[in-house]
A and B are shown apart, each in its own frame.
Chain A
């Protein structure tokens, strides 16, 4: 299972909770706004952590999409 994480910059207000929950995937820029380190989420663990960060964002600025494995069960 893999996925993709993105931040909608028009919604991010720099609460930085994502960085607390998913520090290896979302860094903070100079002013404290979230910046995705690498949009690709390679494994189940990073997908789970990204989803937790997305759920915790007060502005719902984080979008996580699951990408089903090619040939895998849906």
Chain B
């Protein structure tokens, strides 16, 4: 070794200010505790390990702690939980509290992992949220096909009742296995007796939802964070993230990684490269899909050096979304992958708003033509203009996500676009699919 450090001098390599780990790994917060093989952590173990939750009667304390934490929702929108709860408290009527455990993102596994392995942390947070807004029942919403999340939650609810927990009345709601049916206004609509399709409203749901009552819909991970921080205190909890986006964060790795579907918790500030290295993927990939199937492509080099937090991601044009990190390997075609994802998103539209009904199929057609090498310059320009036309025009952000995906693909895979336009053979188009999409049943019911 050249220039070995003299004794008693700290090594030049800084101590990492982050930790990444899966279920049961040391250094994690939400995921700490027993190994994944142990299944759902029993209620007694959970209480012994975490300590009791502050009693629901201490409403003011719970409310203040939630406000101090600055917890931002983890379903993709990043809206402050405290503001949702305060809006529901200020509005007339008894609020509905809904835990969104539907996890519609096809490749995401974080909420399912929580419901399966740490269900009591999710239910703790939900019980506290109900106490804060003065609701005496909580509805936990899952997709019908998500049987493992459903079973984990039902068993946990039974254990709590037997264990004498001071809890709200638990209800489970089952929704259709459709992508947009997991959107918060779609869930609120279903609970109000309508279709599980997104709704348009001038008034925030926390003030008045489709049922007429204030409706708080929060992601399962958000609730788990609440369950954690009410015990640890906002100070320690905040240290798991950045000042602007406090708290740790759950991630799902997919695509060309050693274990697709693996859920990791990022504590502190770590780059996508550091996260992937922790998961055993050591080479800079061709590109990375960040945030979900309606997310943003980043070129491999940029992604590798970008910390996975909202501010850093915003600087490179991305957002954390549901915490998905999808790895595109060298040799695969990003345009072919994009075409499959856009077709999936178009097929999964609720068929309500103009941008989705007219815009998404047009985008999917153009992306498929581009992937085949059948699109010309003018077609690319038209595709770009459609991505602008659909953005911001729907009741929900479904078309915006598809547009974001396409725009980032045209940007990141610029060289591939040129090659496809020139009619040159793309070696990657015969590569097996990297990001899998579920089969869509367009005739399925919205109930």
Instruction: Spell out A's residues near B (CB within 8 Å).
Output: 4, 6, 8-12, 14, 29-33, 35, 63, 65
Contact = CB atoms under 8 A, between A and B. Distances in A.
Interface in B46-99: none
B359 A9 contact: no
Nearest to A7: B200
Contact of B393 (A4, A9, A14, A65): A9
Interface in B334-381: 350, 352-355, 358-359
A31 B202 contact: no
Closest 4 CB pairs of A and B: A33-B354, A9-B353, A31-B358, A10-B352
B355 A9 contact: yes
A33 B390 CA distance: 11
B395 A8 contact: yes
B202 A12 contact: no
Contact of A8 (B197, B200, B359): B200
B395 A31 contact: no
Contacts of B350: 10
B403 to A, nearest CB: 13
Interface of B: 197-200, 202, 350, 352-355, 358-359, 385-386, 389, 393-395
Nearest to B350: A10
30 contacts: A4-B202, A6-B202, A8-B200, A8-B395, A9-B200, A9-B352, A9-B354, A9-B394, A10-B197, A10-B198, A10-B200, A10-B352, A10-B353, A10-B395, A12-B353, A12-B354, A14-B354, A29-B354, A29-B355, A29-B389, A30-B358, A30-B385, A31-B354, A32-B354, A33-B353, A33-B354, A33-B355, A35-B393, A63-B202, A65-B202
Q: Is the interface of B mostly helix, strand, loop or mixed?
A: loop
B420 to A, nearest CB: 25
Contacts of A6: 202
Contacts of B393: 9, 29, 33, 35
Q: Is the interface of A mostly helix, strand, loop or mixed?
A: loop
A39 B26 CA distance: 52
B364 to A, nearest CB: 15
B48 to A, nearest CB: 49
Contacts of A4: 202
A38 B80 CA distance: 28
Contacts of A65: 202
Contact of B359 (A11, A31, A35, A63): A31
A62 B99 CA distance: 32
Contacts of B394: 9
A9 B389 contact: no
A33 B385 CA distance: 16
A6 B353 CA distance: 14
A33 B350 CA distance: 17
Contacts of B352: 9-10
Nearest to A8: B200
A4 B203 CA distance: 13
Contacts of A31: 354, 358-359
Contacts of B358: 30-31, 33
Contacts of B354: 9, 12, 14, 29, 31-33
Nearest to A65: B202
Contacts of B199: 10
A33 B389 CA distance: 11
Contacts of B353: 9-10, 12, 33
A33 B355 CA distance: 9
B184 to A, nearest CB: 15
A47 B354 CA distance: 25
